[in-house]
Chain A
Amino acid sequence: KNQVEQSPQSLIILEGKNCTLQCNYTVSPFSNLRWYKQDTGRGPVSLTIMTFSENTKSNGRYTATLDADTKQSSLHITASQLSDSASYICVVSPYFGNEKLTFGTGTRLTIIP
């Protein structure tokens, strides 16, 4: 069964600090991995998308890494801001298309001043 597991479930950090969120997956075959940011009560917004041949991708203060051999990904947030408070969702896509995505349950990040 395809699965995406994220850790930690929740995280609280001080404004200005860095943090790293983890994603492990068992989806096979594998095409790409995506990270989304979801503010409370809103729809997810795409941060990065990486194929199996990409090891890292950045989007401003967000940097995602991918190790397709160990089936692990991480999302690193640098110099956190209050607006980073949100849920971060890892999504893995098999080779077939967008109708077969497997979504993680997300990491709830809270930034405190």
Chain B
Amino acid sequence: DGGITQSPKYLFRKEGQNVTLSCEQNLNHDAMYWYRQDPGQGLRLIYYSQIVNDFQKGDIAEGYSVSREKKESFPLTVTSAQKNPTAFYLCASSIDLGRSTDTQYFGPGTRLTVL
């Protein structure tokens, strides 16, 4: 059963803690992305990766970090430097980064709440 999985579905963090959100895909896609979704706003790009061991900052990368050690995995760490981390986080993938007509496939999301 192909697709993108994210875990956990819900995550609670105390202020000052780092947390890592998992994203795994078995679609054999080269490109992967992390977005943040807030009420009343469109999705905003945090980081993206075109290939293993390579990733680029998106529009709102401050306070976040990523790694891409394997093609199928793209974990996102929300650090204590992120001042307003409470949001719905979505991971996505596509066959390639550079082809603009490639459909992005999204995971089910992780809702992060800071206590």
Contacts and interface: CB of A to CB of B under 8 A. Distances in A.
Interface residues of A, number: 27
Contacts, number: 69
Contacts of B108: 42-43
Contacts of B102: 98
A68 interface: no
A31 interface: yes
Contacts of A93: 100-101
Which size bracket describes the interface of B in this complex?
A: 20 to 34
A41 B97 CA distance: 26
B42 A43 contact: no
Interface string B16-31: 0000000000000001
Interface of B: 4, 6, 31, 33, 40-45, 48, 56, 58, 88, 90, 92, 94, 97-109, 111
Interface of A: 4, 31-32, 34, 36, 41-46, 49, 51, 89, 93-99, 101-106
Given A46-B104, A97-B100, A103-B43, 18 more contacts: A31-B100, A32-B100, A41-B88, A41-B109, A41-B111, A43-B4, A43-B6, A43-B106, A44-B90, A45-B106, A49-B101, A93-B101, A97-B97, A98-B48, A98-B99, A103-B44, A105-B40, A105-B41
